[in-house]
Amino acid sequence: MIELFRIEAEEQLALLTRHLLDFEHKPAAPAALEAMMRAAHSLKGAARIVGLDTAVRVAHVMEDCFVAAQKNPGRLDRGTVDTLLQGVDWLARISKLAEADVPAWAESNAAALDAFVHTLEHPGAPAPARVVPAAKTPAAEPAPVSVAAAETVDRVLRVTPEKLNRLLGLAGESLVESRRLEPFNRSLLRLKRMQQELGRSVERLRETLGDAADDRVRGYLQEVRSRVAESGAMLQERIEEIDRFDRAATQLSSRLYREAQTVRMRPFSDGTGAFPRMVRDLARRLDKDARLVVGGGQTQVDRDVLEKLEAPLTHLLRNAVDHGLESPAERVAAGKPETGELRLEARHRAGMLLLTVSDDGRGVDIERVREAVVRRGHTTADMAAKLSEQEVLEFLFLPGFSMKSEVTEISGRGVGLDVVQSMLKALRGGVRVSTKPGRGTTFELQLPVTLSVVRALLVDIAGEPYALPLTSVTRVLRVPRDQVETVEGRPHFAFDGARAGLVSAREALGLPAGGAAGEDWRVVVVGDRAGRHGLVVDGFLGEHELVIQPLDARFGKVPDVAAAAVLADGAPVLILDVEDLKRSMDRLASEGGAGRWTRADDTAAKRRRKRVLVVDDSLTVRELERKLLAGRGYEVAVAVDGMEGWNAARTGDFDLVITDVDMPRLDGIELTRLIKSDERLKTRPVMIVSYKDREEDRRRGLDAGADHYLTKGSFHDESLLESVADLIGPAEENAS
């Protein structure tokens, strides 16, 4: 019951605070007074049921005040609102006390409580000279449990965050596992095609034998035809059955995951209840007048994100009141209302949570910031004069940067916006600032809606997939070798008008060297203007939405790794910790090791590795061929079906394409025809590797334009590698 009282107190006190703050800026509305009176009455009844007499006394005198205000709205002046807000604070403190601690707390605060009650009961009268402990509040009409409390019994269930996390993790795993039925279904379709080919072969055999077949042979053929037809019908039934099961399992697991994710979601308003009061109290301390308007309160946010947003939002709001808003006199002189307005809004955009914190104050003086940047030695005067407005504003996020010359309780210590930026980066988010002189400043925060799912860029590093959260990726590009310059032994390239260092992902992660040869390098740019690096990877594997699986706590902190996930085909992938990775990159650069991968073997740098595209819908075959070719030194890219293979062949620079025949969306024969009919690609060798070993199958492949046909049933390690070498030569060749 005490726990239920705490839950109800949180809801009712939030309502009281909201309406009381509104009264400071507009006349008291009868509906609002009625709502506050009911809230105080409900709290009084609930407190009486759980035996919190002190809370009963506070709520009772507040209820009486609201009843009096209904008859005389002028009773709720600014001083009375201050006192009522103090009562809200008293009730909040009492609700958080352990039951055994309430009597001692009430005794130690008896004088203050008496003064509070006297102030509300006798507005405008001086406080009594001698505080006499008030008599116990007489039991008025018996107050039943409020409707909110009664409903709470049915709708509240105490579940630990750890259990919710495990539930969401299991739901994510079920979603991934359900997707593994799709390749099984595709294998059944291939089996059906093989069965149909078997039926056609039997028909051709019957036609070939014709009248030459005796009755016994014709009987056997008829039996085979019957069995083939029967097996075909049964196979079709099983395919339809597994297809229905696949769709049902996928839909069910998707619904389960969405519902599990919804359990973790809370409305944005749940985390903003204390902000309007904080803004109001802080403005009063600074002799200013301010109100906070919160928008998008019903926007759903992951509970973990919401809890971690409190500190950065508090800092931004305090910063806006202290730095942004002018005094009432200054605002009137500028033609503005005396009361400054802060806005905190939340909304979803493009799968992200977008928060804006804005004020209608004086704005940021760009020239003052420019002067402070030079004065603090961050750049030269000539360079500062060339910086754009947005570039100047980015200096506000530097550690220790403050525009205040004096230190106060609120600001001037240099613990500034860099803390906000660091907190947001820890949430895989970012922040931008914009300003209009005399009209205010706006901070725009972009964060993931949930921390359990991440949209990531998959890259190939040393033959294995790794994930980089998209919120940490500035740009993805290919950098030609001739645009890379070496300064003091470290490779750099031009990026957005500045120089960015290049660091090998293999080197940063402590993996075997290699993968940087070729006409251009695949680079993922991470970091901000204060320190950008280009992470050189072996290949781009596209964007994916991943369900985050935390690493076992027994591993401790794995360097450069944040978490793990499972891809749709069941393959595991590590999600890199970009902030940790940036520190590793900085360390390599400071130690002079960032360029070793480009200098290790000058001869190898002058060679170009042959590139092979492997197209096969079987994960096993695809991985086997990739490892064989990569082990011999070839650079290998993979595609999971003919259509993806065709897109890769058109956009990539490959020396050879190896393809299967039976694949969804586009089979290998048609892929070969497309490549050979393309004016730019027709000279590119194509090798077909298939289970089909009949002469007519071989002829179909060669007629389509394939340069070599190899059967999977007969090839072994050396036969594949020898065939590749016959077509394109060894893995490396001189660039000249």
Angle, to 10 degrees, between the axis of helix 53-71 and the axis of helix 30-49? Answer: 160
| pLDDT tens digits along 218-270 | 888 888 888 888 888 888 888 888 888 878 887 887 778 777 777 778 888 88
To the nearest whole percent, how much of the chain has pLDDT over 90? 4
pLDDT given for residue 138 in this prediction:
37
Q: Locate tokens 């209302």: which residue?
A: 337
| pLDDT tens digits along 712-731 | 665 566 788 888 888 888 88
Q: Measured between alpha carbons, how far is 723 from 701 in angstroms, rounded to an integer?
A: 16
Return the structure tokens found at 39: 């809230």
* Structural contact between residues 532 and 551, judged by C-beta atoms closer than 8 angstroms: no
Residue 270: closest CA among 235, 298, 311, 295: 298
Return the structure tokens found at 180: 């593994």
Query: Does the structure show a pLDDT above 80 at 195?
Result: yes
Reported for 191-198, long-range contacts at CB under 8 A and 24+ positions apart, including other chains, are 191/235, 192/232, 192/235, 192/236, 192/239, 193/662, 195/228, 195/231, 195/232, 195/235, 196/232, 198/228
Query: Does the structure show a pLDDT above 70 at 124?
Result: no
Q: Measured between alpha carbons, how far is 38 from 30 in angstroms, rounded to an integer?
A: 12
Q: Locate tokens 């703050």: which residue?
A: 21
Residue 379, helix vs strand vs coil? coil
- The three-state DSSP-derived secondary structure of 533-544 is EEEEECEEEEEE
356-365 b/e (C-beta count within 10 Å ≥ 16 → b): bbbbbbbbbe
Single-letter amino acid, residue 347: R
* Structural contact between residues 524 and 473, judged by C-beta atoms closer than 8 angstroms: yes
Q: Measured between alpha carbons, how far is 585 from 501 in angstroms, rounded to an integer?
A: 9
Report the residue count for the chain.
Answer: 736
pLDDT given for residue 516 in this prediction:
54
Q: Are strands 572-576 and 464-469 parallel, antiparallel or unpaired?
A: parallel
The predicted model scores a pTM of 0.53
Q: Measured between alpha carbons, how far is 348 from 354 in angstroms, rounded to an integer?
A: 6
| pLDDT tens digits along 644-675 | 888 888 877 888 999 988 887 888 898 999 99
Band (150; pLDDT cuts 50, 70, 90): very low
Sheet holding 485-487, edge to edge: 473-480, 520-528, 531-537, 498-504, 490-495, 485-487
Q: Which residues pair with 734 in a beta bridge?
A: 607
Return the structure tokens found at 596: 């070793």
Helix (H) or strand (E) holding 465: strand 464-469
Mean of all residue pLDDT scores within the chain? 78
Band (342; pLDDT cuts 50, 70, 90): very high
Helix (H) or strand (E) holding 189: helix 181-209
Helix (H) or strand (E) holding 66: helix 53-71
- The three-state DSSP-derived secondary structure of 102-151 is HHHHHHHCHHHHHHHHHHHHCCCCCCCCCCCCCCCCCCCCCCCCCHHHHH
Band (568; pLDDT cuts 50, 70, 90): low
Between 661 and 144, where is the model more confident?
661
Q: Locate tokens 């997939």: which residue?
A: 465
Q: Measured between alpha carbons, how far is 629 from 648 in angstroms, rounded to an integer?
A: 18
pLDDT given for residue 409 in this prediction:
47
HSE-CB of 426 using CA atoms within 13 angstroms: 13
Give the residue-averaged pLDDT of 277-283: 86
Query: Does the structure show a pLDDT above 50 at 14?
Result: yes
Lowest-pLDDT range of 302-316, 455-469, 551-565, 704-718: 704-718
Band (595; pLDDT cuts 50, 70, 90): low
pLDDT given for residue 389 in this prediction:
85
pLDDT given for residue 148 in this prediction:
39
Single-letter amino acid, residue 476: V
Beta strand residue intervals within 339-439, DSSP E: 340-349, 352-359, 430-436
